[in-house]
Amino acid sequence: MPGLTAPSSYSQEPPRHPILQINSKEPFNAEPPRSALISSYVTPVDFFYKRNHGPIPIVDDIESYYVSICGLIENSKDLFMRDIRMLRKYNITATLQCAGNRRTAMSNVRTVKGVGWDVSAIGNAVWSGAKLADVLELVGIPNLTSVTRSGGKHVEFVSIDKCKEENGGPYKASIPLSQATNPEADVLLAYEMNGEPLNRDHGYPLRVVVPGVIGARSVKWLDTINILAEECQGFFMQKDYKMFPPSVNWDNINWKSRRPLMDFPVQCVICSLEDVNVMKPGKAKVSGYAVSGGGRGIERVDISVDGGKNWVEASRYQKTGIPYIADHMSSDKWAWVFFEVIIDIPHSTQIVAKAVDTAANVQPESVETIWNLRGVLNTSWHRVQVRVGHSNM
């Protein structure tokens, strides 16, 4: 594509904030400390987790950059940035979360394959751009379409990003056409993040944002939109990001037996405390984030100070001073919810958090029961250890 190049080496990587904890340098994958996550409802771009599969593409000439829309449609079309900017601009607050968030805790049970994420492969941003439903109308696909006249049922996003898993080809993923053409699904072709143009790490000049769905489907550095009869056959749709039972290993795995992951399950994490903490006896604030996929709100967050025997309910909020009501117009349906509660910690103990979403889905108690060989979707109860003692410990 004119004006857009995918570097073959990592020598032209963009600068990053020193606060980030680097999980791999090539490709660059990093997350902020958990305490930084709850410092702001909208995650600063510098603190937003970085998830990459290859060197970061470079746009040399924004004027010549365009996205091709093709496949099972009557008229293909090339859209330049000026065409996309002419469409109505929407601002959508949405949380993106890598399917591998909290993988490290799962690997402590049994070895898994993947980037060693702690609890911060997640972030909340205000994404701005055109709705994909409006873009598809430009090529004759009406809103709320499940199948095109030519038999198209899926929308594939192809990146300029090249990765070894695709044998040097582009990263790609797809979502159902029914989701892509539904204005209420808020799927965006985004060109801004938190009111500023996307930076290179987050997909400049244009990326897809699929709210409520694992981050792997929100393709960055968009190159092509294909309308397909079947879902994308790329590596990350067919041979990765699938959930297998604990009995499956690398010798007996059958990738075709599982569907690609889409909506992420209900999740919550304590961010005010590390995995192991030393403190004086007394009161302490327990706070963190809770989120669920598919636009489901957070109905409740429960905190236990005795390893899960007894529980108290935490308060929930998004914007300071505005009461959070799940699924209410005043709430951001695609965004995380912060929780907090003041508890008394008289002695050493295990503090546990679990969330319940508006469909009454609750996090599983044990990571062992959801262990899988790729270490995805660790949404088990989040546990931290507290050692209470004197200040001279």
Cis peptide preceding 27, ω within 30 of 0: yes
Q: Where are the domains of the chain?
A: 4-239, 267-388
Among 359, 374, 355, 308, which Cα is nearest to 103's?
Answer: 374
Please state the φ and ψ torsions of residue 392, each to the nearest 5 degrees: -90, 15
Please tell me the predicted confidence (pLDDT) of residue 390: 63
Please tell me the predicted confidence (pLDDT) of residue 320: 84
Is 87 within 8 Å of 134 (Cβ atoms)? yes
Is 226 within 8 Å of 173 (Cβ atoms)? no
Measured distance CA(59)–CA(316) in Å, rounded: 41
User: How long, in residues, is the chain?
Assistant: 393
For the beta carbon of residue 105, count every other beta carbon within 10 angstroms. 18
Please tell me the predicted confidence (pLDDT) of residue 6: 59
CATH of domain 267-388: 2.60.40.650
Please tell me the predicted confidence (pLDDT) of residue 5: 63
Among 245, 280, 220, 293, which Cα is nearest to 67's?
Answer: 220
Superfamily of domain 4-239: Oxidoreductase, molybdopterin-binding domain (3.90.420.10)
Please tell me the predicted confidence (pLDDT) of residue 321: 81
Measured distance CA(311)–CA(303) in Å, rounded: 5
3-state secondary structure of 172: strand
3-state secondary structure of 103: helix
pTM across the whole model: 0.96
CA 245 and chain centroid, separation: 22
Please state the φ and ψ torsions of residue 187, each to the nearest 5 degrees: -70, 125
Chunked in runs of 10, what are the mean pLDDT values of the chain (393 residues)? 63 92 96 97 98 92 96 96 98 98 97 97 98 98 97 98 95 98 98 98 98 98 98 98 97 98 98 95 97 98 97 95 88 97 96 98 98 98 93 48
Measured distance CA(30)–CA(16) in Å, rounded: 9
